[in-house]
Structure 1
Amino acid sequence: MPGLNTDIVAHKLPLKPECKPIKQKLRRMKPEILLKIKEEVKKQFDAGFLKVAKYPEWVANIVLVPKKDGKVRMCVDYRDLNKASPKDNFPLPHIDTLVDNTARHSMFSFMDGFSGYNQIKMALEDTEKTTFITMWGTFCYKVMPFGLKNAGVTYQRAMVSLFHDMMHREVEVYVDDMIVKARKTEDHATNLERLFKRLRKFQLKLNPAKCTFGVTSGKLLGFVVNERGIEVDPDKVQAIRDLPPPKTQKEVRGFLGRLNYIARFISQLTLKCDPIFKLLHKHNPGAWNKECQVAFDKVKVYLLSLPVLVPPVAGRPLILYLTVNEGSMGCVLGQHDETGTKERAVYYLSKKFTEYESKYSSLEEMCCALAWTAYRLRQYMLYHTTWLIAKLDPIKYIFEKPSLSGRVARWQVLLFEYDIVYVSQKAIKGSAIVDFLAERVEKDYEPMEFEFPDEDLMSICQTNEEESEEKENWKMFFDGASNALGHGIEVVLVSPEGDHYPVIAKLNFYCTNNVVEYEVCVMGLQAAIERKIHVLEVYGDFTLVIYQLRGEWETRDSKLVRYHKYVSKLMENFDKICFTHLPREENQMADALATLAAMFKVGTNVKIQPIMINLRECPAHCSGVEEEVDEKPWYHDIVHYLKFQQYPEQSSENDKKTIRRLAMNFFLDGDILYKRSRDQVFFRCMDSAEARRIVEEVHEGICGGHVSRHMLVRQILRSGYYWLTLETDCMDFARKCHKCQIYADRIHTLANSLNVLTSPWPFSMWGMDVIGLITSKASNGHRFILVAIDYFTKWVEAASYANVTQKVVCEKFKIKHHYSVPYRPKMNGAVEAANKNINKIIEKMTNVYKDWHKKLPFALHAYRTTVHTSTGATPFSLVYGMEAVLPIEVEIPSLRVLKEVQLEEAEWVNTRYEQLNLIKEKKLTTLCNGQL
Structure 2
Amino acid sequence: HLNEILSILAKANFQVNPDKCSIAVQEIDFLSHTINEQCIKPNGDKIKAIVDLPTPKTLKEANEFLGKINWYRKFIPNFSRIAAPLHKVTNKTKHHRHEFKWGPDQQQSFDEFKRLLTTYPLFLEYPDPSTPFILTTDASNIGIGGILRQDTPNGTKINYFKSRMLDDTERKYDTFEQEALAIFWCLSELRSYIGDSDFIIETDHKPLENFHKKQINNKRVMNWLFKLQDILPQIIAVKHRPGAHNAAADYISRHFPPSTSTNINPSTTAVTHDDWPIGTEHWDEQVRKPQRPQCTPPSILEHTCTRNASINAEINAVTTRAQSKLQAQPHTSSPNASSTSTTSQSTCSSLPITTPLHDFSLSRIRSEQAQDIIIQQIIQQIQNNRRYESFIIQ
Q: Scaled by the length of structure 2, what TM-score is found?
A: 0.58
Residue 292 (structure 1) aligned with residue 106 (structure 2): yes
Q: Tell me the equivalent position of 1:195.
A: 6
Q: Does 1:438 align with 2:253?
A: yes
Aligned length: 274
Residue 128 of structure 2 aligns to a residue whose secondary structure is coil
Task: Determine helix, strand or coil for the equivalent of 1:354.
Answer: coil
Q: Does 1:319 align with 2:134?
A: yes
Contact 1:266–1:306 (CA under 8 A) maintained in structure 2: no
Q: Structure 1 residues 438 and 237 mapped into 2: Cα distance closer, same or farther (>3 Å)?
A: same
8 Å CA contact 1:265–1:307 kept in 2: the answer is yes
Aligned residue among 343, 360, 363 for 2:176: 363
DSSP-derived class of the 2:125 partner:
coil
Task: State the distance in 2 between where 1:211 and 1:382 align.
Answer: 29
Paired position in structure 2 for 1:307: 122
Relative to structure 1, the CA distance from residue 323 to residue 196 in structure 2 (aligned partners, 3 Å threshold; closer, same or farther) is closer
CA shift, 1:287, in A, is 0.8
Q: Does 1:245 align with 2:55?
A: yes
Matched, 1:223 2:223: no
Change (3 A) 1:275 1:354: closer
1:769-780 matches, within 5 Å, as none
Q: What's the secondary structure of 2:138's corresponding residue?
A: strand
- Displacement of 1:232 in angstroms is 1.1
Report the Cα offset of residue 275 of structure 1: 2.9
The alpha carbon displacement at 1:231 in A equals 0.8
2:279 matched residue in structure 1: none
In the aligned structure 2, how far is the partner of 1:436 from the partner of 1:225? Answer: 28
Per the alignment, in what secondary structure is the counterpart of residue 355 of structure 2? coil
The structure showing larger relative contact order (alpha-carbon pairs under 8 Å, at least 6 residues apart) is 2
Report the counterpart of residue 474 of structure 1 in structure 2.
none
**CA displacement at 1:236 relative to structure 2:** 2.0
Give the structure 2 partner of residue 407 of structure 1: 220
- CA shift, 1:297, in A, is 2.3
The correspondence for 1:213, drawn from 23, 48, 54, is 23
User: Is 1:333 aligned with 2:148?
Assistant: yes
1:422 counterpart = 2:229: no
CA distance in structure 1 between the partners assigned to 2:168 and 2:36 by the alignment: 42
Q: Distance in 1 between matches of 2:41 and 2:354?
A: 42
- Would the aligned equivalents of 1:351 and 1:440 in 2 still touch at CA under 8 Å? no
Tell me, yes or no, if the aligned pair for 2:204 and 2:242 is still in contact at 8 Å: no
Q: Deviations over 1:822-852 (max 9, x none)?
A: xxxxxxxxxxxxxxxxxxxxxxxxxxxxxxx
Change (3 A) 1:423 1:249: same
Confirm or deny that 1:267 pairs with 2:90: no
Does residue 498 (structure 1) correspond to residue 321 (structure 2)? The answer is yes
- Name which one, 1 or 2, has greater alpha-carbon Rg: 1
Equivalent pair of 1:398/1:408 in contact (CA under 8 Å): no
Aligned counterpart in structure 1 of residue 202 of structure 2, from 379, 386, 389: 389
Partner of 1:609: 355
Contact (CA 8 Å) 2:179, 2:205: kept in 1 or not?
Answer: yes
Aligned-residue identity in percent: 24
- C-alpha separation in 2, matches of 1:382 and 1:432: 27
Q: Is the 8 Å Cα contact of residues 336 and 344 (structure 1) preserved in structure 2?
A: yes
CA RMSD of aligned residues (A): 4.1
Cα distance between partner residues in 2 of 1:378 and 1:203: 28
Of residues 330, 352, 360, the one that matches 2:165 is: 352
Shift of 1:400: 1.8
Q: Is the 8 A contact 1:333 1:347 kept in 2?
A: yes
The letter of the residue matching 2:144 is M
Q: 1:529-544 residue pairs with structure 2 within 5 A?
A: none
Following the alignment from structure 1 to structure 2, what is the Cα–Cα distance between the partners of residues 401 and 611?
12
Selected match of 1:256 from 52, 63, 66: 66
Report the CA distance shift for 1:424/1:244 in structure 2 as closer, same or farther (over 3 A).
same
The alpha carbon displacement at 1:260 in A equals 1.5
Amino acid at match of 2:321: G
Residue 377, structure 1, aligned to residue 190, structure 2:
yes
Distance 1:608 1:350, change over 3 A: farther
What does 1:906-921 correspond to in 2, within 5 Å? none
Tell me, in whole angstroms, the C-alpha distance in 2 between the residues paired with 1:331 and 1:314: 20
Alpha-carbon distance between aligned partners in 2 of 1:205 and 1:398, rounded to the nearest angstrom: 47
CA distance in 2, matches of 1:286, 1:326: 27
Q: How far 1:396 sits from its partner (Å)?
A: 3.7
Distance 1:351 1:608, change over 3 A: farther
Residue type of the partner of 1:298? E
Q: Which amino acid aligns with 1:234?
A: G
- Determine if contact 2:56/2:62 at 8 Å carries over to the other structure: yes
CA distance in 2: counterparts of 1:279 and 1:197, whole angstroms: 46
**Structure 2 partner of 1:860:** none
Q: How far did residue 279 of structure 1 move? A: 0.9
Q: Which amino acid aligns with 2:171?
A: S
For the residue of structure 2 that corresponds to 1:370, the secondary structure is helix
TM-fit CA distance, 1:431:
1.0
> Following TM superposition, by how much is the alpha carbon of 1:611 offset from its aligned partner in structure 2, in angstroms?
9.3
Matches of 1:254 and 1:217 in 2, distance apart?
29
Q: Is the 8 A contact 2:127 2:150 kept in 1?
A: yes
* Cα deviation, residue 215, structure 1: 0.7
CA contact (8 A) 1:399 1:412 kept: no
Give secondary structure in 2 for the equivalent of 1:212: coil
Shift of 1:398: 5.2
Q: Is the 8 A contact 2:138 2:253 kept in 1?
A: yes
Q: Distance in 2 between matches of 1:426 and 1:228?
A: 32
Q: Partners of 2:178 and 2:9 in 1: how far apart? A: 53
Letter of the structure 1 residue corresponding to residue 24 of structure 2: G
In the superposition, relative to structure 1, how do residues 413 and 388 fare at CA in structure 2: closer, same or farther (>3 Å)? same
What does the per-residue CA deviation read over 1:564-619, in whole Å, with 9 as the maximum and x for residues that have no partner? Answer: xxxxxxxxxxxxxxxxxxxxxxxxxxxxxxxxxxxxxxxxxx8551599xxxxxxx
Task: Give distance in 2, aligned partners of 1:499 and 1:251.
Answer: 55
**By how many angstroms is 1:425 displaced?**
2.9
Distance 1:357 1:203 in 2: 45
